[in-house]
């Protein structure tokens, strides 16, 4: 009986996932029936239409209580499609309502004119602001630096990661940040009142290295809006983060790259790179290795001498390469090559290797928390086909 009790949360989570599995942010209608009765009818109909369209089209996942569904069915003039869909949401509430227990991020639409504000693990917004926004009409916007390759790799990695979470499914629109303009593109999506998440490369050569300029700008924008208090910046619905290592290419494991026949990996990497346990993930050289250009000890030391990098960066690289700081100048490891992401996405053997990699302690320790955090912003149901 105790074992069964411990399994209940897992069983419910998998049940929810299996029932509403799909390919978005979870939005709860938290307006009481007595509040709906005093709302102008056109506003109530607009709120329900926006939410039902979002769920029916697969843009987001909507949760509405049975009592509220009953009120809307009786009092509102909705389209035939949305009336039918409202009945589906009412019937699904026993499973959809449970997802709130596991949700790491969601939007609560409340009665009134309140602006966006942070509320626990999610966001709250007044219904008037919600009506005038584009939060429900667009899928979550994910700003990446290079949409041509990054979007394909993130889609693949998300499809693998979601199987280890209670997230029902995802939907996302990728937006190209264009490298140095990423922060401006991110802010533009925020100003348009859309759910926006942004992930940028750290451009770090070691865990102790400084963030690159683009990452600094993006995180500063996020902090001013959603972290720091007592300033004039308004919160936004979304988040910003950086890659775990130097850049997105470093998410592709060493053994997967070995499966891509056109690349000859430097033999030194076989001795340096270990990606199995959580301990391996703590100081992994591969995460900060420049796959395209490799690492030059001389260039690293020159940047340290110029004050562009801290001495600790050179010390960390030397420790990973098994040499003294003074001997780092003699170390040079060639890069693997260009177009890593493109080659990975066209090589089934490499993708299979990644799937096996996702079962390791290393992967769970290094990547799972970040993937799960991002995926909750993309949570959605499958679109209804009529």
Same domain, residue pair 48 and 184 = no
Whether residue 178 has pLDDT greater than 50: yes
The string of pLDDT tens digits covering residues 60-93 is 999 999 999 999 999 999 999 999 999 999 999 9
**Full-model pTM:** 0.88
What is residue 88's three-state secondary structure?
helix
The rounded distance, in Å, linking the Cα atoms of 247 and 209 is: 13
Same domain, residue pair 327 and 370 = no
Same domain, residue pair 80 and 120 = yes
How does DSSP assign 15-67, residue by residue? HHHHHS-B---EEEE---HHHHHTS-HHHHHHHHHHHHHHHHTTSSEEE--HH
- Is 384 among the domain residues? no
The rounded distance, in Å, linking the Cα atoms of 90 and 96 is: 9
Q: Closest by alpha carbon to 259, among 359, 356, 351?
A: 351
Domain boundaries, position 353: 251-357
Residue 24 makes CB contacts below 8 A (sequence gap 6+) with 58, 59, 60, 61, 139, 140, 169, 170, 171, 172, 378, 379, 380, 381
Whether residue 7 has pLDDT greater than 60: no
Same domain, residue pair 279 and 225 = no
- Is 46 among the domain residues? yes
Domain end marker among 87, 108, 131: 131
Count of domains for the chain: 3
In degrees, to the nearest 5, what angle opens at C-alpha 290 toward C-alphas 287 and 296? 120
The rounded distance, in Å, linking the Cα atoms of 328 and 301 is: 8
Paired residues of 241 in beta bridges: 199
Whether residue 211 has pLDDT greater than 90: yes
Whether residue 44 has pLDDT greater than 70: yes
The rounded distance, in Å, linking the Cα atoms of 311 and 57 is: 53
- Looking at residue 9, its pLDDT comes to 36
Paired residues of 169 in beta bridges: 22
Same domain, residue pair 119 and 49 = yes
Q: Closest by alpha carbon to 237, among 151, 140, 371?
A: 140
Same domain, residue pair 31 and 126 = yes
- Is 237 among the domain residues? yes
Same domain, residue pair 226 and 258 = no
Of 35-39, 101-105, 195-199, 256-260, the least confident: 101-105
Contact predicate 90/7, CB 8 Å: no
- Is 6 among the domain residues? no
- Is 316 among the domain residues? yes
Same domain, residue pair 207 and 345 = no
- Looking at residue 221, its pLDDT comes to 97
User: Mean pLDDT, to the nearest integer, of 25-39?
Assistant: 95
Same domain, residue pair 67 and 215 = no
Same domain, residue pair 113 and 65 = yes
- Is 191 among the domain residues? yes
- Is 317 among the domain residues? yes
Same domain, residue pair 349 and 257 = yes
Residue-averaged pLDDT of the chain: 90
């Amino acid at each position: 009986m105790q074992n069964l009790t411990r399994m209940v949360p897992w069983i419910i989570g998998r049940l929810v996932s299996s029932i509403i599995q799909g390919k978005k942010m979870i939005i709860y209608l938290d307006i009481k029936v007595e509040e709906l009765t005093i709302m102008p009818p056109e506003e109530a109909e607009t709120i329900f239409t926006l939410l039902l369209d979002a769920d029916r089209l697969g843009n987001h996942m909507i949760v509405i209580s049975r009592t509220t569904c009953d009120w809307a069915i009786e009092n509102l003039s909705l389209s035939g499609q949305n009336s039918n869909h409202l009945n589906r949401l009412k019937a699904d509430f026993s499973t959809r309502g449970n997802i709130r227990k596991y949700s790491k991020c969601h939007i609560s639409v409340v009665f009134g004119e309140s602006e966006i504000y942070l509320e626990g693990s999610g966001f709250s917004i007044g219904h008037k602001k919600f009506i005038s926004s584009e939060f429900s009409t667009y899928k979550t916007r994910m700003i990446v630096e290079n949409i041509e390759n990054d979007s394909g790799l993130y889609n693949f990695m998300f499809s693998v990661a979601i199987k280890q979470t209670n997230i029902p499914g995802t939907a996302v629109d990728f937006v190209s940040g264009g490298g140095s303009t990423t922060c401006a593109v991110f802010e533009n999506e925020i100003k348009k009142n859309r759910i926006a998440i942004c992930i940028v490369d750290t451009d770090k050569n070691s865990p102790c290295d400084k963030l690159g300029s683009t990452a600094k700008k993006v995180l500063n924008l996020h902090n001013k809006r959603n972290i720091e208090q007592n300033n004039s910046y308004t919160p936004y619905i979304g988040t910003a983060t950086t890659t775990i290592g130097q850049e997105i290419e470093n998410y592709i494991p060493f053994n997967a790259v070995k499966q891509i026949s056109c690349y000859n990996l430097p033999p030194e990497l076989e001795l340096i790179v270990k990606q199995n346990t959580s301990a391996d993930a703590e100081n992994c050289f591969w995460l900060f290795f420049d796959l395209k250009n490799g690492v030059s000890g001389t260039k690293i030391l020159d940047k340290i001498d110029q004050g562009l990098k801290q001495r600790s960066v050179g010390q960390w690289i030397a420790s990973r390469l098994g040499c003294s700081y003074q001997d780092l100048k003699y170390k040079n490891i060639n890069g693997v090559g260009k177009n890593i992401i493109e080659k990975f996405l066209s090589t089934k053997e490499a993708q299979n290797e990644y799937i096996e990699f996702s079962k390791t302690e290393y992967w769970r320790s290094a990547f799972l928390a970040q993937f799960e955090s991002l995926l909750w912003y993309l949570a959605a149901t499958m679109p209804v086909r009529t």
